[in-house]
Structure 1
């Protein structure tokens, strides 16, 4: 029978700074972090995003020195989103070799070969209706979208991406992208799938940043209901079967239970995305004097690690790099 108080005193292992550090079950390090970036057409552009404090739109020429500073801080992985010059019903500009993501990939891969370049694969930023797939009337055409997504992923691989991250939540997209990459000579390009992505209210600032709010309806027919944990596991394990190399759970803080349950079901690496609304919730509370921003941000990211995340996509990567010192 286990010893009880007073012989068992759990506070003994918290009694010294060094001992507390030695007893830490998880750590948060720069190698765990992926920094999102927003690439836009043009030149000389570094435009702050009003709803996403500390985050900017960058033209490719301004993106290069920003990435260089991030690398100097020890942040070496980046998730690229793009805003196009033109939109249409099919999102054809998403696979344009001269699009901002493709241009950024070519420049960054040549200038910074040590950087890991990951790309978001979706159509919502590129369609004039704002949905993540092609539409047939007022219905999202799942199977018709797969070829378009595969073309986007292939264009990113050709431009220099090391990893693609489909975020659309169409059924079968991981398999379609894997087939296209392999057939195109890019079998070494990995896939990090947005495997369990909720139809969350915490994406608001991102949709401003990416100009990707749906023009009609919502995304609940393809993104997941926050009520369904078992379905989230089915989604993730289906992506594993289709060839995903890393599984992502999104949002982070409201889905820690799913992340922990998925950790028990798969041997694949897991990622999570501390999304724009979660980040701004912490920052708004800190601005109101309700919490300490540094401690709260570190605690939120450590919670993701404790729940099972190997990687965390976070807008706070640069601040965390400073705070971790």
Structure 2
């Protein structure tokens, strides 16, 4: 059997564009396809070789025929399907796709969120609704902002799969001078860590918006990594090092970086914006907003002590006053 070397990126945002750059800058022989919903953006990319809406400085080095709005056609041509749409819109994006269309494909999630209503991480969602075997599922995670990829800043990504040989195969297709890869077998821990760090970044932003300083932020994130560990160890108890970049590293960059949309969203909430006004002004998806509601429901099954997640949930969904809720949280931290 020939080695899988055809990759389809599903999504048209900044992280999808960054993934295109990584794949095309990598020298391993492969064919790359790109699907996005926006026909105008597709036509623009075909003509001018850059995404008009995201990371417009990135040159798109793909043949015109490899960029399309026909999802079924794009999927049919690929071995690896790299999912790169917000979790809240995944069901809609895949609405015309059947389990038969995905049969034999390798599904890679670059989505750092939970599917709303289903309250499932992407691997579980694909397994239940599209019969994707877990051995055909991969997670792409780690501290890696799309904006820094565009600037070719040195970044590290973790590729997780139950089949580490498969993870290594995909890792070899995205390694570049500025992208280093790490292989893991922890699909549950890396997926849930990617979800939780967005919630903690919202908490960090809220605290900054209220006026808490760096000293408190360090305590908040110190507690966040312990909260994250409690949850992933309960959901999927295996031997993992929570200090690795897929866990602690991703949490740190999302909580502190100027490029973090979740931190930005939280900062606006802390300054008094409503959820709707913050979302409209950002014009980008903050996964942590949807994720905290899903995690609140998921944790009813596990009953893990998660005071930071519960504080963010209370502010965003119960409309609690941010300053009051964070003061209450502060009394619980150590």
TM-score calculated relative to the size of structure 2 = 0.29
Larger Rg: 1
TM-score calculated relative to the size of structure 1 = 0.30
Greater strand fraction, Structure 1 or Structure 2: 1
RCO higher in structure (CA 8 A, sep ≥6): 1
